[in-house]
Amino acid sequence: MEWLQQLINGISLGSIYALIALGYTMVYGIIKLINFAHGDVFMVGSFIGFYSITVFGLGFFPALIISMAACALFGVIIERIAYKRLRNATRIAALITAIGVSLLIEYGVIYIRGAQPEAYPDVFSNRSFELFGAQISVQSILILSVSVVLMILLQFIVHKTKTGKAMRAVSHDTEAAKLMGINVDNTISATFAIGSALAGAAGVIFGVYYTKIDPLMGVIPGVKAFVAAVLGGIGIIPGAMVGGLVLGVVETIVSALGFSLWRDAAAFVILILILIFRPSGIFGKNTREKV
């Protein structure tokens, strides 16, 4: 039952990518910015969770909530200070700023606490049970359920609440949304808050599942999550979830076949194939070019 085990491995990895990808996709959908600092918000979330557990002795769920709240605030601060001024600047200027913010967060954290890694404490029992010959740990079940709950919650917010409707409207047409009386600035901030909260949650989950966290941990998952977002169709929320899961499973399959050193290449090959043959992603709609 090696393959069932591999599928479970892939889905666990993919759900973390999906949580990070959601933030990318939401931000891109609304202000067309590739927010490279998003992976670092994920890292900050992980550290906040770590300190709430070790220093304040909190459990997993309080730590998760604190980390999500702190990251939401952090995301809004980043948006207000760094990105807001650039809303009318070229996309490339905004991108460079995002890279700058990303470096600043990484090296700010290194300056404060050093670059050495930290080991997440065990908050769940390490117990695992067997199902059809595959080992499933209690941790991975909890992690999967938390991810699924958060994604359902996000769907609810986006489709049923006023803020969510405003977000969709702004993403569709900013000017028209403004004319309809929607406060665009606040809506964008709300998007950053929600996206960053999800990244924070992903950080805590990553810590619990993978144990090792360090100030540069956000770089690679950040890029991977971005690939996942594009895979699913950037700007589309269900797309990010599916893209994340697909990416996680594909990476696992490549390693399972014995090509672990080619794992990252596989992710990018799929990305390029998708871009060339279906540039708007799995879930994307083809839009006509306007002259």
Partner 1 sequence: MKKSKFASLFLASSLLVGVLAGCGSGEKSSSTNGGEVSSTNGGDTIKIGANLELSGAVASYGSSEADAIDLAIEEINAAGGIDGKQIELIKVDNKSDAAEATNAAIKLTSQDKVTAIIGAATSGNSVAQVQIATDTKTPMISPSGTSTTVTVGDNGKVNPFTFRTAFIDPFQGTVAANFAVNELKVKTAAVYADNASDYAKGLAASFIKDFEAAGGTIVAEESYVAKDTDFRSTLTRIKGSNPEFVFIPGYYEEVGLIVKQARELGIEVPLMGADGWDSPTIVDLAGAAALNNTFIITAYSAEDPDGKAKEFADKFTEKYGKAPNSFHALGYDSVYLLKDAIERAKSLDGTKIKEAIEATDNLELVTGLYSVDEFHHPIKSATIIEFVNGEQVFKTKVNP
Partner 2 sequence: MKKSKQFWPFIIAAVIVYAVVQFLISNGMMNQFYSNTLIFISINIILAVSLHLVIGITGQFSIGHAGFLAVGAYISAIVTMKLHLPFIVAILVGGIVAALAGLVVGIPSLRLKGDYLAIATLGFAEIIRIVFLNIDAVGGAAGMQVSHLTTWTYAFVCLVITILVIVNFTNSRHGIASISVRENEIASDAMGINTTYYKVIAFSIGSFFAGVAGALYSHNFYIIQPSQFGFLKSFDILIFVVLGGLGSLSGAVLSAILLTVVSTYLQGYPETRMIIYSLVLILVMLYRPKGLMGTMEITDYFKLWRTPKGGGQHGK
Chain residues binding partner 2 by CB under 8 A are 28, 32, 34, 82, 85-86, 89-97, 99-104, 106-108, 110-111, 219, 223, 226-227, 230, 234, 261-262, 264-265, 268-269, 271-272, 275-276, 279, 289, 291
Q: Which is nearer to partner 2, 8 or 230 (CB)?
A: 230
CB 46 within 8 Å of CB 178? no
**What's the min distance (Å) between Cβ of 128 and partner 1?**
6
Closest contact distance (angstroms) between CB of 11 and partner 1 is 11
Longest dimension (CA), the chain: 60
Binding partner of 275, given partner 2, partner 1, none, CB within 5-8 angstroms per partner class = partner 2
The structure tokens listed for 278 are 């279906």
* Chain centre to alpha carbon of residue 154: 13
Q: Give Cβ neighbours of residue 68 (< 8 Å, ≥ 6 apart).
A: 45, 197, 198, 200, 201
Distance CA 138, CA 129 (A): 8
| Shortest distance (Å) from residue 46 CB to partner 2 | 20
CA distances from 205 to 52, 202, 212 (A): 14, 5, 11
Contact partner, 204, from partner 1, partner 2, none, Cβ < 5-8 Å per class: none
Distances (CA, A) of 137 to 46, 123, 169, 249: 21, 13, 42, 18
Count the alpha carbons within 13 Å of 105 in the hemisphere toward its beta carbon.
28
Between 131 and 269, name the residue whose CB sits nearer to partner 2: 269
Contact positions vs partner 1 (CB under 8 A): 2, 5-6, 9-10, 12-13, 107, 110, 114-117, 119, 122, 126, 128, 130, 135, 137, 139, 210-212, 214-217, 220, 251-253, 255-256, 258, 260-261
Q: Least separation, in Å, of the C-beta of 162 and partner 1?
A: 39
Q: Among partner 1, partner 2, none, what binds residue 269 when CB lies within 5 to 8 Å by partner kind?
A: partner 2
Hey, what amino acid is at 40? D
Supply the minimum distance, in Å, between the C-beta of residue 180 and partner 1.
45
Say which entry of partner 1, partner 2, none residue 99 contacts (CB below 5 to 8 A, set by partner kind). partner 2
Q: Please, which residue, 88 or 125, has the CB nearer to partner 2? A: 88
| Closest CB 221 distance from partner 1, rounded Å | 8
- Is the CB of 149 or the CB of 220 nearer to partner 1? 220
- What beta strand segments (E) does the chain contain? 118-119, 128-131, 134-137, 212-213
State how far the Cα of 142 lies from the Cα of 123, in Å rounded to an integer: 11
Among partner 2, partner 1, none, partner that 79 touches (CB below 5 to 8 angstroms by kind): none
C-alpha dihedral, 54 to 58 to 61 to 65, nearest 10°: -90
